[in-house]
């Protein structure tokens, strides 16, 4: 088995659903040993987020939803009832042997069980404790619950996503994937690694990391937020249009849709040549990037009928040869059938004991390391799959002690 760059790091993942599990999965992909804590019986809430569910050999649904599978690969699962003193004692015993604890309980919830940072730092002063919550540990909204779409709305993303108000179907739009969760998970994963570096390379103590989904979403509006902060002008929705060179948008071909970005004047000139209208390079409305940005509506009106005469793959080939960036609007079926995507191994398989064919397909981690490649993928664990292994091997518990915990419903 290949050793990842975080192979000496052990993580206690007390999170559920998406943002926290995503962060822990990123660490697991990099080689960290991640122990996922699940409630006995119910497990991670996301196990119920289906259909679709993984099917067994008889074609029946298992408890492994596609949602759960998407965020929990390369982990171990331990069932533990933290509402009971014995369960809390187990968590403290594990904390003593872990580098990181990741949780996304509501603010103050874990303090009731003595599992908050202030309580656990005495158990392990080197512990990196990361809390992922909707609104953060401070501020007037901190006690509130929330979900991804709430943060997309409050953080401004929906206001800049979708068609303009003066176009049919215009209005705020949520992104398909739960980007607030995923982005917060990514911020948490890199913050945890930075805290580990500070601890191990700079002699800093353990610390508490506070990551908010709302903060993460706002930060990820990036150049849109900067546009507002610099100019004072509120950005508007522009559908598929980009923000750099023009044209930068989707066009409709005779048999499909294409995304085209002419990022500079040279690419725009080649784009005009491909369409057989080099005179449009000198059109006073479109001669420079800034002019094309200002006159974007007129630009679309000119180029839409020209592009509509082309077949999609003919235009893609011509633009590719001319060095003009373009791509088809793919479905996910087309994405994973694309020869380039296949060459990048973006779909991998892992063994799964409940699957009809003994395997489950996973989306690969996109990072390619030359020295410590991510090559070993393990299927997301069945609930409590590693409970006895962890209790015996990591905590050194005897069989009678493990059975006692089972009889009480602690694990």
Per DSSP, the residues of 120-180 read: HTTT-TT-EEEEEESS-SSSTTTT----HHHHHHHTSTGGGSS--TTSTT-S----SS-HH
Parallel, antiparallel, or unpaired for β 75-79 and 100-103?
Answer: unpaired
What's the pLDDT score for residue 26?
Answer: 98
Does the bond joining 360 to the residue before it have cis omega, within 30 degrees of 0? no
Per DSSP, the residues of 171-221 read: S----SS-HHHHHHHHHHHHHHHHHHHHHHHH----EEEEEEHHHHHHHHT
What the block records as the tokens of 162 is 């979708």
Mean pLDDT for the stretch of residues 293-307: 94
pLDDT score, position 257? 97
Q: For the segment 8-26, what is each residue's pLDDT rounded down to a tens digit? A: 999 999 999 999 999 999 9
Per residue in 127-172, pLDDT (tens digit) is 999 999 999 999 999 999 999 999 999 999 999 999 998 888 999 9
pLDDT digits (tens, 9 = 90+) for 180-238: 999 999 999 999 999 999 999 999 999 999 999 999 999 999 999 999 999 999 999 99
pLDDT, tens only, 226-265 = 999 999 999 999 999 987 789 999 999 999 999 999 999 9
> Percentage of the chain surpassing pLDDT 70?
99
What is the pLDDT, as a whole number, of residue 167? Answer: 87
- Mean pLDDT of the residues in the chain: 96
Q: Could you list the active site residues?
A: 181
DSSP string, 89-132: HHHHHHHTT-SEEEE-PPTTTGGGGT-SHHHHTTT-TT-EEEEE
């Amino acid at each position: 088995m290949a050793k990842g760059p975080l192979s000496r790091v052990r993580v206690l993942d007390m999170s559920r659903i998406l943002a926290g599990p995503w962060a822990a999965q990123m660490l697991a992909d990099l080689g960290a040993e991640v122990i996922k804590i699940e409630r006995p019986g119910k497990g991670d809430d996301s196990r119920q987020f289906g259909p679709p569910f993984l099917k067994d050999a008889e074609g029946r649904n298992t408890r492994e939803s596609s949602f759960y599978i998407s965020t929990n690969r390369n982990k171990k699962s331990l069932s533990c009832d933290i509402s009971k003193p014995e369960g809390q004692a187990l968590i403290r015993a594990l904390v003593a042997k872990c580098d990181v604890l990741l949780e996304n309980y509501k603010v103050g919830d874990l303090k009731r069980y003595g599992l908050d940072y202030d309580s656990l730092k005495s158990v392990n002063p080197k512990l990196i404790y990361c809390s992922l919550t909707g609104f953060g540990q401070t501020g007037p909204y901190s006690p509130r619950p929330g979900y991804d779409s709430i943060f997309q709305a409050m953080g401004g993303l929906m206001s800049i996503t979708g068609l303009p108000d003066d176009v049919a179907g215009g209005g705020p739009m949520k992104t398909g994937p739960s980007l607030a969760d995923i982005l917060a998970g990514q911020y948490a994963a890199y913050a945890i690694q930075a805290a580990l570096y500070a601890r191990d390379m700079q002699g800093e103590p353990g610390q508490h990391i506070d990551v908010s989904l709302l903060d993460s979403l706002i930060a990820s509006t990036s150049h849109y937020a900067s546009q507002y902060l610099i100019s004072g002008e509120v950005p508007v929705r522009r559908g598929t249009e980009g923000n750099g060179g023009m044209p930068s948008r989707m066009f409709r071909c005779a048999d499909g849709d294409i995304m085209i970005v002419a990022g500079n004047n040279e690419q725009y000139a080649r784009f005009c040549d491909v369409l057989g209208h080099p005179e449009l390079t000198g059109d006073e409305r479109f001669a420079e990037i800034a002019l094309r940005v200002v006159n974007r509506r007129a630009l679309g009106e000119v180029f839409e009928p020209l592009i509509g005469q082309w077949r999609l793959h003919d235009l893609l080939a011509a633009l590719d040869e001319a060095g003009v960036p373009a791509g088809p609007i793919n479905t996910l079926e087309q994405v994973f059938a694309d020869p380039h995507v296949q060459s990048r191994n973006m779909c991998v398989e892992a063994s799964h004991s409940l699957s009809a064919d003994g395997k489950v397909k996973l989306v690969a981690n996109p990072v390619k390391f030359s020295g410590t490649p991510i090559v070993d993928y393990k299927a997301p664990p069945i609930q409590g799959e590693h409970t006895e292994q962890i209790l015996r091997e990591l905590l050194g518990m005897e069989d009678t002690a493990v059975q006692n915990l089972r009889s009480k419903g602690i694990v």
